[in-house]
Amino acid sequence: MGTKSNLDPAKSRTFELENCMFDQFQSPSLYSVSDPIAPLRDFVASHREGLLHAAGLLGGHRGIDLALEISEELSSARPVSRRTRTQVIALIELLSLERVHQLGSEECSRFTAINPCDPVVEEICLLTDGLRDSLNLVSTHYHQSPTI
């Protein structure tokens, strides 16, 4: 007779993140024409704390500052600038470990300190995919125009 785990997968942080992350997405046609960047605004607003934590783990203070700037810019009602789009891409690159191979970089040293088996790794991957997907929805709408 095997022992039954007391851990309920429905209560795990990863399960919670997956469910709340993907429940936020709607069909692009359902977003308001008046706010075509709603997918990106919604994703960043609903995953703000996770993005800040992940950016801090992988990028330190610079990562946190980057995520904060993006969050603040997207929470305003003004149109999103090319600079903000560039910052979102930089955050995606940070979270997807694009610069980890650069020996001596802060990203490299922070990445090596994370245990690959730590559940935070999966959470970072889910956040990265969600952020990338929401940016792609916006980019599809704008066809790479100067502002998002």
The residue range of the domain holding 118 is: 35-142
Q: 121-124 — which CB contacts under 8 Å span 24+ positions? A: 122/14, 123/13, 123/14, 123/17, 123/50, 123/54, 124/54, 124/57, 124/58, 124/95
Task: Tell whether 132 is covered by a domain.
Answer: yes
Measured CA angle at 52 (ends 11, 84), to 5 deg: 130
In a domain, 5, yes or no: no
Q: What is the pLDDT of residue 39?
A: 92
Tokens of 66: 């980057």
4 belongs to a structural domain:
no
Domain total of the chain: 1
The per-residue pLDDT for 143 is 57
Residue 24 located in a structural domain: no
* Burial zone of 63 (CB within 10 Å; 0-12 exposed, 13-18 middle, 19+ buried): buried
Query: Is 49 contained in some domain?
Result: yes
Q: How far apart are CA 21 and CA 27, in angstroms?
A: 14
Whether 56 maps to a domain, the answer reads yes
pLDDT tens for each residue of the chain, 148 residues long: 444 444 444 444 444 444 444 444 444 444 445 678 899 999 999 999 999 999 999 999 999 999 999 999 999 877 888 999 999 999 999 999 988 777 777 888 888 888 999 999 999 999 999 999 999 988 776 654 444 4
- Asked if residue 13 belongs to a domain, the reply is no
Is 121 a member of any domain? yes
User: pTM above the 0.85 mark?
Assistant: no
Q: Quick count: other Cβ atoms within 10 Å of Cβ 81? A: 13
